[in-house]
């Protein structure tokens, strides 16, 4: 399920250590292009731009099951072995996101992984069903690519995202 940006607050600041020209999708204003927010599974959040070139994903397996029907909040100091936060740049970047039908196949040109920061996830199970509502707040997250370039997410919020459902 994809949720328009209007359902979440995005406050993001990006800076590259080197090599960030005006055509780079992670230029200084890439956060303004994250127009689609969503989630699925137990538990996975994503944000993607309309050009399908920049994808932010956060996964923390088992949070819905661990909630045992109760609202829970979990805080992770990044990096954390139990979660993954990455930013990917490429084309058709979200083609396989929460979807079992891959039409073009994503092409990932660069990947950044979280090396510092905080992630706070709140899960609100929805009765007896597998689905849940979730919130995610990233704060002061530093991500690094294989060449040592960094991007900083000062704050990024997903609010009331439907998670827990299985793609298909």
Per-residue pLDDT, averaged over 138-142, amounts to 93
Per-residue model confidence (pLDDT) at position 164: 87
Mean of per-residue pLDDT scores for the chain: 82
pLDDT at 36 over 50: yes
Q: What is the pTM of this model?
A: 0.82
Residue predicted with more confidence, 82 or 30: 82
Q: Is residue 15 part of a domain?
A: yes
Q: Which long-range contacts (CB under 8 A, 24 or more apart) does 133-139 make?
A: 133/160, 133/161, 133/162, 133/163, 134/39, 134/43, 134/45, 134/63, 134/158, 134/160, 134/161, 134/162, 134/163, 134/164, 135/159, 135/160, 135/161, 136/45, 136/58, 136/161, 138/58, 138/85
135 - beta bridge partners?
Answer: 122
pLDDT score recorded for residue 131: 82
pLDDT in tens, 65-92: 899 889 999 999 999 999 999 999 999 8
| For residue 4, pLDDT beyond 60 | no
| Max mean pLDDT range (30-34, 63-67, 97-101, 112-116) | 112-116
pLDDT at 100 over 50: yes
pLDDT of 3 higher than 50 = no
Residue 136 within any structural domain of the chain:
yes
- Asked if residue 168 is part of any domain, the answer here is no
pLDDT attached to residue 93 = 86
d(CA 101, CA 68): 31
The pLDDT of residue 2: 45
* Domain-embedded: residue 139: yes
Structurally, how many domains does the chain consist of? 1
For 106-139, the pLDDT digits (tens) are 889 999 999 999 999 999 998 766 789 999 999 9
Q: Flag whether 17 is in a domain.
A: yes
Kindly state whether residue 145 falls inside one of the protein's structural domains: yes
Query: Hunting for tokens 């909630």 — which residue is that?
Result: 67
Query: What domain range is 148 assigned to?
Result: 2-163
Q: Would the pLDDT of 163 be above 70?
A: yes
Residue 22 belongs to some domain of the structure: yes
């Amino acid at each position: 399920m994809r949720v328009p940006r209007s359902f979440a607050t995005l406050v993001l600041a990006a800076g590259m250590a080197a090599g960030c020209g005006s055509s780079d999708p992670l230029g200084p204003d890439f956060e303004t292009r994250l127009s689609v927010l969503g989630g699925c599974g137990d538990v996975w959040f994503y944000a993607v731009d309309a050009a399908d070139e920049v994808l932010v994903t956060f996964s923390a397996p088992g949070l819905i099951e661990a909630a045992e029907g109760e609202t829970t909040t979990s805080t992770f100091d990044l990096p954390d072995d139990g979660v993954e936060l990455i930013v990917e740049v490429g084309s058709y970047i979200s083609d396989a996101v929460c979807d079992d039908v891959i039409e073009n196949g994503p092409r990932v040109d660069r990947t950044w992984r979280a090396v510092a920061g905080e992630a706070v996830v709140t899960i609100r199970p929805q009765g007896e069903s597998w689905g849940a509502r979730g919130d995610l707040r990233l704060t002061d997250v530093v991500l690094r690519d294989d060449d040592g370039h960094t991007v900083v997410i000062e704050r990024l919020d997903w609010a009331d995202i439907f998670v827990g459902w299985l793609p298909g």
